[in-house]
Structure 1
């Protein structure tokens, strides 16, 4: 993602929580003593936040000379979202904070809050990222899927850069409940086949248009039209393609926050082992 061409300086926000309710827990001869020490904690957090911002700035400045580091005295999610909106950010990058087997709990509260609350695209990174050469895009021809393609098209394609576009067609099946006269059954089956074929043609056409846009930006492309359950099929491709980045579109831009992502976007955030870029 360091190859995005910035239209304005990059800003890094490092949130520092309010300190009014922080305490130390000290163990003295088997007893636990809670001692409030605002000044010590304030100094420690200030120093930690400042050092973290300095390290991040040093790393980013190698490719983003105009990068800024800002320490914000707010709760993490609120601070990041506030700075992103104030800075009119095109992209927010956050880390993934969880470990363990409970997939729904893997994404930390800060990451999940930013993903659901941000008005712009969000990059969620689990591990040390590799150079972005191979990208998989989950494409359903929705407006945000189109934005995902446009966002990738803005990246500087490396000489060996390759994008795999994946669409999953929803296949209708004739109903089998209750008795149906033979002639009617065959008519229904024929109509279902026609609807499935039309849907597949429309999906393939949209895939080819997206691939053409990426080719114009210098990316080699490969398209896959699959059938089945969308999340499972997309993750199957991710497992075989071994991408450096997975890109999907969110489902909406307003309404109930839990429903903004859609089941596929929510699913890949919980299951993907590679960085996920959620496009809005």
Structure 2
């Protein structure tokens, strides 16, 4: 198993390292740490010597950060590689991903919130759209310890089953809550309103009843995978817009980790179509593991 983690000089890097060390992983897991030196906007007024001093200070700060990161990770992982690049952070990180082909990329979420909405310019959003492997996004200060409270969202798809398989393979996991969303009527409701009120109510109830059946079946499919791994499972059908309902459930249960499957679309197609997994990553109060094919 190979992980790749993207770090900067912010305090979020400390939180990410702490989360990684506590997160269940195989003893054979190796880690690649990527740090990108973005170009400094150095004023000409400080002169050549001032510019050189500023660059030296940046280099010393980064070297100290990465030395500390390496020492911490070497206590928990089989091998740690550190890579320093210069350039645009998102582009350089994606290039290293192509070169190293990790199974999982770990990053902070700040890039999602540089401006209102889901911004393409943020590093995290670029990773969501373009990284070809699974992705774990860590929002702000989080704590991980024994007995992680994991919430797995499923819609019964192959992507959700794949995510359940990943959870089943995590060492030391004892309990998982599986949620499946009954989507409320949208355009169908406008059609039903053309019928007589009593008939419309009956048809609406039939629609929702069928969706609950599908949701329970989706939960049952994931339960089989997890129980085979001796994990205690709780299933719950929830209602609403998928991403909002999943995040609401995670907040109510104080989940430590949300796990969702993804179709694995990348590039322009992923950015244009969006997905439940991307919306969950934007809204979630806890780390999110997005499992791609």
TM-score (norm 1): 0.79
* Structure 2 match to 1:46: 59
Does 2:263 align with 1:242?
Answer: no
1:150 equivalenced with 2:159 (yes/no) = no
- Structure number with larger C-alpha Rg: 1
Structure 2 counterpart of 1:216: 228
Cα distance in 1 between the residues matched to 2:223 and 2:124: 30
Other-structure match for 1:16: 37
Higher helix share: 2
Q: Secondary structure at the match of 2:247?
A: helix
Length-normalised TM-score, structure 2: 0.76
Distance 1:258 1:274 in 2: 23
CA contact (8 A) 1:4 1:154 kept: no
Distance 1:34 1:229, change over 3 A: same
Name the Cα RMSD after superposition. Answer: 3.2
Deviation at 1:191, TM superposition (A): 5.6
Moved more, 66-75 or 194-203: 194-203
Question: How far apart, CA to CA, are the structure 2 residues paired with 1:108 and 1:261?
Answer: 15
Q: For the residues of structure 2 that align with 1:181 and 1:75, how far apart are their CA atoms? A: 60
Equivalent runs, 1:265-276 vs 2, <5 Å: 265-276=277-288
Deviation at 1:107?
10
What is the CA deviation profile of residues 139-189 of structure 1, one whole-angstrom value per residue up to 9, with x for unaligned ones?
11233222221221221124xx321111112344653444x479xx74x76
Note the residue ranges of structure 1 that are not aligned, 5 or more in a row.
27-32
Which residue of 1 is the match for residue 177 of structure 2? 164
How far apart are the structure 1 equivalents of 2:158 and 2:93? 25
User: Segments of 4+ in structure 1 off by > 6 A?
Assistant: 98-102, 105-108
Residue ranges of structure 2 left out of the alignment (5+ in a row): 1-19
Mean CA deviation greater in 94-103 or 138-147:
94-103
Corresponding residue number in structure 2 for 1:30: none
Whole-angstrom CA distance in 1 between matches of 2:196 and 2:113: 54
Counterpart of 1:110 in structure 2 is 123
In 2, Cα distance between the equivalents of 1:143 and 1:6? 28
Cα contact 1:122–1:279 (8 A) shared by 2? yes
